[in-house]
C-alpha cells in the first residue's frame, strides 16, 4: 500500500480534478506483475493500467492481489466501471486504503467486489490515503475547492514591515525582503504544485509584484490558475502577473469598468464580476444557513461568524461566490497567499479548511508592520478559528504549522480528527 500511495503521488499535478490513485497487482509470492497510476489526460484508471500490464504477461491472476489506495469505481464515467475490470481479471484479493468519497461510488464498489466473491481488505494506511485525497473529497462531495490559507510570517505574526519603509524595492513597490528562508519558500512551491489555483488580493500584487507561478518544474496538466481579487480593477498592467499571463490569470472584481476590462482581456486575462460581500440582513443570513450543509449549524469546529465579522459594505467580492465560481472551473484546491485583507476576508467568510503558516524566528514588532490578518477579527475567544490536528514541519530555523479549521471529510462539522 505504501508503494501504491507512492505511485498515486506521481499523479500530483496530473490527476486533477480526479483523485490520486496508484495500483499494484502482486502475485502470491509478492512479485509485482503490474502497476500504474491515474492521470486525467491518460483517461485510464490506475487499477485498469496495473491489471492490463499484468495480463500482458500471460499469467493467470487467480492468486493475485490488487493493492490500491482508493476503492474501485463502479460507475460509468469517462471510462467503464473498474469493479467490472477487477472481477473479470479473476483477481482473488483486493486491498484498499479508503472508500471513494464520490457519491456515485461510496462503498458500492466494495460491495460489488464482495458480491462477486472477491476478498476485500479495507482501510490500510487509511489516514495517509485520506490526506492525499482531501482536495478531491472536498470538491466531489461539496462542490467547492479545498481552501488552504498560507502565510509566511515572523514569530509575532507579521507578514511584512511597515509599507514604504523597506529596502527591497521591486518594480512596483517594496515588500521589505523575504521573511522566511529559501528552504521554506521552496516548500511553498510544492504547495503551489499540488494546487489548482492560487489567490491573492490586488494589494499584494501592488506591494510585492509576485509571479504567483508554480516553479517546481514538475509537469502539470493545467497551468496553476492565478486568481487576483481586485474589486475595482486596480491591477497594474505593468505587473509581472499581467506581463506573464497566458490564459492562466483570472481577475475577480465587484465593479468591471468596460475600458479597463477590455485592456485586461486584450492580454488574455479573464475578468469576472462577482456578487459583493455586504452586511447580511437577517433574511439573507437565514437563506445562507439553509444553503449550507445542515451540520454546519451545529458544528462547533467551524468558526461561528458574527454579523460584525462578515459585515462589510466596502464592495469586496463575496468569498463564497468566488469559491462556487472556481468549482465550476473544476478547481479542486485553492491556495490563498494573502495579503492581510484577503486572509481576514477568507477567515471571516468561513471558507478556510486548513492553514499552512510558515514562521521565521524573527520579531518585527511595531504597529506599522503588516499583521497576518487585518479587519475586525473574531471578537471573542469562543469565535476564534480553532486549528486542530496540527503538524509541525521544520525548515532549518524556520517551521510551519499545518492544521485544519474544518475536516474536509466532514465539511462544516466539528473536527473529529484527533
Ligand atoms: C478508480 N481508479 O484511478 C480513479 C478513480 O470520469 P472518470 O471516468 O475518470 O471517473 C472519475 C471518477 O472515478 C472519480 O470521480 C472517482 O470517483 C473515480 N476515480 N477511481 O477506481 C482511479 N481515478
Ligand atoms: Zn475506476
The set of catalytic residues is 47
Q: What is the pLDDT of residues 136-172, one digit of tens each?
A: 999 999 999 999 999 999 999 999 999 876 554 444 5
Angle at 174 between CA 170 and CA 178, to 5 degrees: 90
Give the model's pLDDT for residue 177: 81
The minimum-distance atom of ligand 1 relative to the CA of 77 is: 8
Q: What is the mean pLDDT of residues 62-73?
A: 98
In short, whether 110's Cβ falls inside 6 Å of ligand 1 is no
How confident is the prediction for the chain on average, in pLDDT? 89
Which ligand is in closest contact with the Cα of 20?
Answer: 1
Highest-confidence segment of 109-118, 164-173, 291-300: 109-118
18 lines ligand 1 (CB under 6 A): yes
For ligand 1, say whether the CB of 206 is within 6 Å of any of its atoms: no
- Least reliable range by pLDDT among 148-152, 193-197, 288-292, 338-342: 288-292
Determine the average pLDDT of the residues in 44-62. Answer: 97
Q: Which residues pair with 395 in a beta bridge?
A: 398
Can you tell me the mean pLDDT for 258-269? 96
Task: Give yes or no for residue 287 having a pLDDT over 90.
Answer: no
pLDDT at res. 307: 35
Residue 75: pLDDT over 50 = yes
Residue 361 has pLDDT above 90, yes or no: yes
Pocket test for ligand 1, best of 22, 42, 100 (most atoms within 8 A of CB): 100
Q: Which pLDDT value is given to residue 301? A: 40
Entry pTM: 0.89
Percent of the chain with pLDDT over 90: 83
Q: For the chain, what percentages of helix, strand and coil (3-state, to nearest 5) are there?
A: 30, 20, 50
Closest ligand to the CA of 77: 1
| pLDDT given at position 387 | 97
**Residue 182 host element (H or E):** helix 182-193
Name, in order, each residue with C-beta under 8 angstroms of 153's C-beta and a sequence gap of 6 or more.
159, 179, 357, 358, 359, 360, 372
Tell me how far apart the alpha carbons of residues 94 and 86 are, in angstroms, rounded to a whole number: 9
Residue 73 Cα: closest atom of ligand 1: 21
* Mean pLDDT across 181-187: 96
Distance 366 CA to ligand 2 centre (A): 55
- Pocket flag, ligand 1, residue 325 (CB < 6 Å): no
The CA 133 to ligand 1 mean position distance, Å, reads 12
Give the atom of ligand 1 at the shortest distance from the alpha carbon of 19. Answer: 23
Question: Whole-angstrom Cα distance, residue 178 to residue 243?
Answer: 23
Rounded CA gap, 189 and 182, in Å? 11
User: Per-residue pLDDT averaged across 83-93, rounded?
Assistant: 98
Is the CB of residue 70 less than 8 Å from the CB of residue 129? yes
Write down the pLDDT at residue 296.
37
Atom 3 of ligand 1: nearest residue by CA position: 45
Closest by CA to 383, choosing from 312, 311, 300, is 300
What pLDDT score was predicted for residue 167? 55
Residue 371, pLDDT above cutoff 80: yes
Whether ligand 1 lies within 6 angstroms of the CB of 65 is answered as no
For the CA of 82, the nearest atom of ligand 1: 21
Q: What is the pLDDT of residues 208-231, one digit of tens each?
A: 999 999 999 999 999 999 999 999
- Over 80: is that where the pLDDT of 281 sits? no
297-339: per-residue pLDDT in tens?
Answer: 333 344 434 333 444 446 889 999 999 999 999 999 999 998 9
Q: Is the pLDDT of residue 74 over 60?
A: yes
CB of residue 51 inside a 6 A radius of ligand 1 = no
Of 416, 410, 417, 414, the C-alpha closest to 301 is 414
Amino acid at each position: 500500500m505504501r508503494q501504491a500511495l507512492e505511485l498515486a503521488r506521481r499523479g500530483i499535478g496530473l490527476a486533477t480534478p480526479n483523485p490520486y490513485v496508484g495500483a499494484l497487482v502482486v502475485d502470491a509470492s509478492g512479485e509485482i506483475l503490474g502497476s500504474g497510476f491515474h492521470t486525467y489526460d491518460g483517461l485510464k484508471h490506475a487499477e485498469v493500467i496495473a491489471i492490463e500490464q499484468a495480463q500482458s504477461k500471460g499469467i493467470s491472476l487467480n492468486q493475485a492481489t490488487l493493492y490500491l489506495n482508493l476503492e474501485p469505481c463502479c460507475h460509468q464515467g469517462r471510462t467503464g466501471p473498474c469493479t467490472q475490470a477487477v472481477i473479470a481479471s479473476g483477481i482473488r484479493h483486493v486491498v484498499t486504503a479508503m472508500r471513494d468519497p464520490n457519491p456515485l461510488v461510496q462503498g458500492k464498489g466494495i460491495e460489488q467486489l464482495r458480491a462477486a466473491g472477491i476478498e476485500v481488505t479495507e482501510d490500510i494506511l487509511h489516514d495517509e490515503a485520506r490526506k492525499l485525497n482531501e482536495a478531491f473529497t472536498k470538491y466531489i462531495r461539496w462542490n467547492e475547492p479545498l481552501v488552504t490559507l498560507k502565510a509566511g510570517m515572523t514569530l509575532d505574526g507579521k507578514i511584512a514591515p511597515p509599507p514604504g519603509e523597506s529596502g527591497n524595492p521591486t518594480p512596483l513597490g517594496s515588500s521589505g525582503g523575504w521573511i522566511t528562508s529559501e528552504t521554506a519558500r521552496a516548500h511553498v512551491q510544492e504547495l503551489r504544485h499540488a494546487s489548482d489555483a492560487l489567490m491573492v488580493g490586488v494589494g499584494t500584487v501592488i506591494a510585492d509584484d509576485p509571479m504567483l507561478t508554480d516553479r517546481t518544474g514538475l509537469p502539470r496538466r493545467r497551468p496553476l490558475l492565478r486568481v487576483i481579487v481586485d474589486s475595482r480593477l486596480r491591477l497594474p498592467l505593468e505587473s509581472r502577473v499581467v506581463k506573464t499571463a497566458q490564459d492562466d490569470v483570472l481577475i475577480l472584481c465587484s465593479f468591471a469598468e468596460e475600458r479597463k476590462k477590455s485592456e485586461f482581456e486584450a492580454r488574455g486575462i479573464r475578468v469576472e464580476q462577482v456578487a459583493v460581500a455586504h452586511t447580511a440582513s437577517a433574511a439573507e443570513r437565514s437563506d445562507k444557513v439553509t444553503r449550507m450543509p445542515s451540520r454546519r449549524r451545529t458544528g462547533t469546529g467551524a468558526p461561528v461568524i458574527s454579523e460584525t465579522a462578515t459585515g462589510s459594505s466596502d464592495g469586496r467580492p463575496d468569498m463564497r461566490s468566488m469559491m462556487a465560481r472556481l468549482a465550476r472551473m473544476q478547481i479542486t484546491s485553492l491556495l490563498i497567499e494573502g495579503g492581510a485583507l484577503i486572509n481576514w476576508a477568507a477567515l471571516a467568510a468561513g471558507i478556510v479548511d486548513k492553514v499552512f503558516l510558515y514562521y521565521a524566528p524573527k520579531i518585527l514588532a511595531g504597529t506599522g508592520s503588516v499583521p497576518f490578518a487585518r479587519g475586525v477579527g473574531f471578537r471573542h475567544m469562543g469565535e476564534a478559528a480553532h486549528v486542530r490536528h496540527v503538524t509541525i514541519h521544520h525548515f532549518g530555523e524556520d517551521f510551519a504549522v499545518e492544521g485544519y479549521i474544518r475536516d474536509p471529510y466532514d465539511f462544516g462539522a466539528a473536527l473529529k480528527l484527533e
